[in-house]
A and B are shown apart, each in its own frame.
Chain A
Amino acid sequence: AQSVAQPEDQVNVAEGNPLTVKCTYSVSGNPYLFWYVQYPNRGLQFLLKYITGDNLVKGSYGFEAEFNKSQTSFHLKKPSALVSDSALYFCAVRADTGRRALTFGSGTRLQVQP
């Protein structure tokens, strides 16, 4: 079985400050890890993924995430938050073999205050 935990329902940060959205996972085998963002009444937009290679992954809109195998984490980060980053963020995982469907976390709402 595989699972994702996003321990924070909401993260509040001031514009211009760094942000972190936490994600830990559990999977049998090597993980494929993803971050998606969802704006109101919209589908999921891909931000970044870790498949293999460098543990630090850079993605869209200045976001990055670090894969930490020992801590089974894949936290999303951005050095300087924008008000327009306010949205719902989902972390997802699947194993490198077997079932291809992604398992999602419950989501974290990011609120960036001006």
Chain B
Amino acid sequence: GAGVSQSPSNKVTEKGKDVELRCDPISGHTALYWYRQSLGQGLEFLIYFQGNSAPDKSGLPSDRFSAERTGGSVSTLTIQRTQQEDSAVYLCASSFMDRGQVGYTFGSGTRLTVV
């Protein structure tokens, strides 16, 4: 598609439930990133995938968070046993790098509210 697509745009869940957030990157972009933005805050890096390499999981805040990227395209971020502090906007981005040029495109995000 023309942009990075994220679904759902909003998700309200009860504390303790599991949630899955989806990201569909721009076709041909080899890297995919997940960030978290708490209310009024900056962007916190969570995880990124680059081609067939092992993902960089260094930003995941706990083992309740995991992500996968199937077929080098769509990615799913899973949060198990959600807590109220998980409430945030989760942003996905994809990037290209070609002949010295690089660009990152962000999706509109999924607003997660844990009640």
Interface size on A, residues (CB 8 A): 23
A106 contacts B41, C-beta separation under 8 Å: yes
Interface size on B, residues (CB 8 A): 26
Set A42, A46, A49, A106: member contacting B105, Cβ < 8 A: A46
Residue A52 is within 8 A (CB to CB) of chain B in the complex: yes
Cα–Cα distance between A52 and B101 once the two chains are bound (Å): 9
B63 CB to nearest chain A CB (Å): 20
Chain A residues 71 to 113 lying within 8 A of chain B, measured CB to CB, are 90, 92, 99-107
B91 contacts A44, C-beta separation under 8 Å: yes
Residue B42 is within 8 A (CB to CB) of chain A in the complex: yes
Interface-centre pick from B100, B103, B104, B106 (highest chain A CB count, 10 A): B104
Interface residues of A, Cβ cutoff 8 Å to B: 32, 34, 36, 41-46, 49, 51-52, 90, 92, 99-107
